[in-house]
Amino acid sequence: MDLDAQGKKLLSLLVAKIKTAVPGRPETYIGYKECHDLLGLPQIREKWGESLKPQGLSSLADWTESNNKPGITGIIINLSTFEPGKGYFNLFGKDDGDYAWWAEQIKNSKEHDWSPYLIEEFDLTPSDFEAPDRNDIVTSRIIRDTALSLKVKAINSYECQLCGTSLGMPAGKKYAEVHHIKPLGKPHNGPDTENNMICLCPNHHAELDYGAIKLAKEKITINEGHEISDEFLRYHNEFIYKP
């Protein structure tokens, strides 16, 4: 069987996306909604995964399976489970959750020559970061809640370093978020270090993620044991902040 036009279009997108994907690390993969956005597809069913099936996903998945190609559609994941749709494993005769096999499909897909089947060129590097999907940010933030970010929250008593807000949670717990001032990952490549972190309330976190506000050191509450580097503040004001 030949790959239909919608399947080729989706394949072209996935081949561009897979360049920055790290096998076995789903947070570097792509969501169903993001595929719609990047391909300009309408949402035709309530669930994004169901909506993508008749618009290239099913034909591409069937084509890879019947032509012994690597399972590149495994790079498309549900952002709430960080897994591909159930049909993915079953189509290739694998059990749900065969993660080793899945990671190998992504690795083989990165190395495979797909060029005879591509119809469109996607350059994902700039657009990826100019208009990030807020859901993507929130989900990857949970994964990154490291010991270091817990320490930064504790030093700052779970109070926003910009406005002093502290959110009270059930059972006397408090809630705050840690933001990387120079963002992690491409293209910014900021470090995962304390001096690149700031403890925030969710409102200020969203404003910084979107570059809605500037950072002025004199307006930041600095608590003993947690220094913030001037270099990263300058980076935010110069490259993230959009006046």
The contact mask relative to Zn ion for 57-96 (x = CB under 5 A, - = no) is: ----------------------------------------
Q: Give the DSSP H/E element, type plus range, for residue 198.
A: strand 197-200
Give the alpha-carbon dihedral of 120, 126, 128, 131, to 10 degrees.
Answer: -120
Q: Which is nearer to Zn ion, 139 or 165 (CB)?
A: 165
Residue 64 CB, nearest distance to Zn ion (Å)? 47
Is the CB of residue 237 less than 8 Å from the CB of residue 200?
no
CA–CA distance, 97 with 43 (Å, rounded to integer)? 27
Interface stretch with Zn ion, choices 15-23, 31-39, 103-111, 154-162 (CB under 5 A): 154-162
Q: Which of 33, 180, 182, 204 binds Zn ion (CB under 5 A)?
A: 204
Give the helix ranges, DSSP H, for the chain: 5-17, 32-39, 48-52, 57-66, 86-91, 99-111, 125-130, 134-143, 147-155, 202-209, 230-235
Q: Which of 41, 201, 233, 240 binds Zn ion (CB under 5 A)?
A: 201
CA–CA distance, 51 with 28 (Å, rounded to integer)? 22
Q: Which is nearer to Zn ion, 25 or 219 (CB)?
A: 219
Residue 163 CB, nearest distance to Zn ion (Å)? 3
**Cα distances (Å, whole numbers) of residue 23 to 52, 104, 108, 176, 208:** 23, 7, 9, 31, 30
Is there binding between residue 178 and Zn ion (CB under 5 A)? no
Q: Which of 143, 150, 163, 212 binds Zn ion (CB under 5 A)?
A: 163
Q: Which is nearer to Zn ion, 75 or 160 (CB)?
A: 160
CA–CA distance, 231 with 209 (Å, rounded to integer)? 18
Q: Which of 14, 41, 106, 160 binds Zn ion (CB under 5 A)?
A: 160
Q: Which is nearer to Zn ion, 162 or 240 (CB)?
A: 162
Is there binding between residue 208 and Zn ion (CB under 5 A)? no
Q: Which is nearer to Zn ion, 17 or 205 (CB)?
A: 205
Would you call the peptide bond into 42 cis, given omega within 30 degrees of 0 as the criterion?
Answer: no
Is there binding between residue 162 and Zn ion (CB under 5 A)? yes
Is the CB of residue 149 less than 8 Å from the CB of residue 157?
no
Interface stretch with Zn ion, choices 40-48, 143-151, 184-192, 197-205 (CB under 5 A): 197-205
Binding residues for Zn ion, total number by CB under 5 A = 6
**Which residues contact Zn ion (rule: CB under 5 A)?**
160, 162-163, 165, 201, 204
